[in-house]
Amino acid sequence: MPGAYPYPRFPGHSLMMRLAHPAAGFRLFVVVLALALVSGCSWFGGDEEEDPPAELVKFKATLKIRKVWSGGIGDGSEHLRLALNVASDGAHVYAATHDGRVAAFEAVKGKRKWLRKTKLELSAGPAVGEGVVVLGSSGGDVIALDVNDGTERWRVSVSSEVLATPALAGDHVYVRTVDGKLTALNLADGSQAWFVQQSVPRLSVRGTGAPVVIKSTVICGFDNGRLAAYEVGDGSVIWDILLSPPSGRTEVDRLSDLNATVRVVGDDIYAIGYQGTLSALAAESGQILWTRDISSHSGIAVDFNNLYVTGDASDMYAVSRRTGREHWRQETLLNRDVSGPAPFAGSIVVGDFDGYVHWFDVRDGSLQARVRAGGGRITSQPLVVNDMVYVVTDDGKLYAFKDATKR
């Protein structure tokens, strides 16, 4: 598997790392063992975890959530922490599993429309648009399937493992690979249109944020802490800034990956780094408007007024879009390895390592509802389409929920 490795989750922590070069395997073991000792990990039957997952608290539900439907896709990807998410074109939802299966379901009733076996170790996607469903693999493949029946349009090899969901816009598919490349592929046949590359630190957090296209610009964060904007047509640099400078003595201390996908609202960009900051930037110039010390590798959600962030310890924040001022912080789910958040009407929705889905009030962070989507971990951010919430679990199941008070 080019340039990347899956690592086990440290108890009480959600950090997984990779080395840039496979030849450094023994040094990797030393780094992982040292981290395990520092974090109080009990791999070898030692003491209990230093930071165990929070117990679920009792509460009075203020929302009544019901499961509308569920469907199986294929074998799961437990412990790999892959960017296999749910995508939708409105009428259908699409999901995939690491064993190479991709499925399309009716969004409302959950009837499966098609299932395709790609025979790839899928690791990112799907992304849907322009009549295709696009995914990336651990072996450095990108595949495009027809949105109507799942037949293969094209399949190409890129330079390294794909851990970020591709972005589709216009005539191109934009693919971020773990070797620091952002590649534009022609949507018609998968041929390469252009690529750019950033330096890659020797040690980085496993996973990458997806590129985002706004107008004629594609924006992408990298493992070296840089955020850059490129022309969609030829990849020429519009701006490139060091958003999350590394600091500290050790390579672990200096981790500064931009692993969470940036969010764009109007002329503003919101980005967050691991062991870095939450920042607001001007889309046109990359000028930093404000910063706040919050670290995350899970993701950001945004609504009209606020940003919602899942921190590295699974604490959740709501901060003002305009100033970065904190409105509330929720610590009910500490160390439960919570997914990135998703706005749902007046709520924020997240999933956790034990398959639970939680709803919180956007106004004050109070817990509104909790349901369980099987027993598999929910790594990817929930998807909200109209009045439905979709989550995919790492054991290959897809679930749809809605507010039971609404028809």
Residue 64 pLDDT greater than 90, yes or no = yes
Handedness of CA 203, 161, 382, 190 (dihedral sign): positive
Q: pTM to 2 decimals?
A: 0.86
Helix (H) or strand (E) holding 30: helix 25-38
What are the pLDDT digits (tens) for 79-134? 666 779 999 999 999 999 999 999 999 999 999 999 999 999 999 999 999 999 99
Residue whose pair of structure tokens reads 């870095």 in the numeric block: 276
| 3-state class (DSSP) for residue 190 | coil
Better-scored residue on pLDDT, 255 or 289: 289
Could you tell me the pLDDT band of residue 310, with boundaries at 50, 70 and 90? very high
Residue type for 400, please? A
pLDDT, average across residues 44-62: 79
Nearest Cα to 139, choosing from 160, 165, 167? 160
Write the CB contacts of 26 (distance below 8 Å, at least 6 apart in sequence): none
Residue whose pair of structure tokens reads 């490129």 in the numeric block: 230
For the beta carbon of residue 60, count every other beta carbon within 10 angstroms. Answer: 7
Q: Where are the domains of the chain?
A: 17-403
What are the pLDDT digits (tens) for 4-28? 333 333 333 444 545 454 333 333 3
What are the pLDDT digits (tens) for 182-224? 999 999 999 999 999 998 866 655 566 899 999 999 999 888 8
Residue type for 39, please? S
**Residue 30: per-residue pLDDT:** 36
CATH architecture type of domain 17-403: 7 Propeller (2.130)
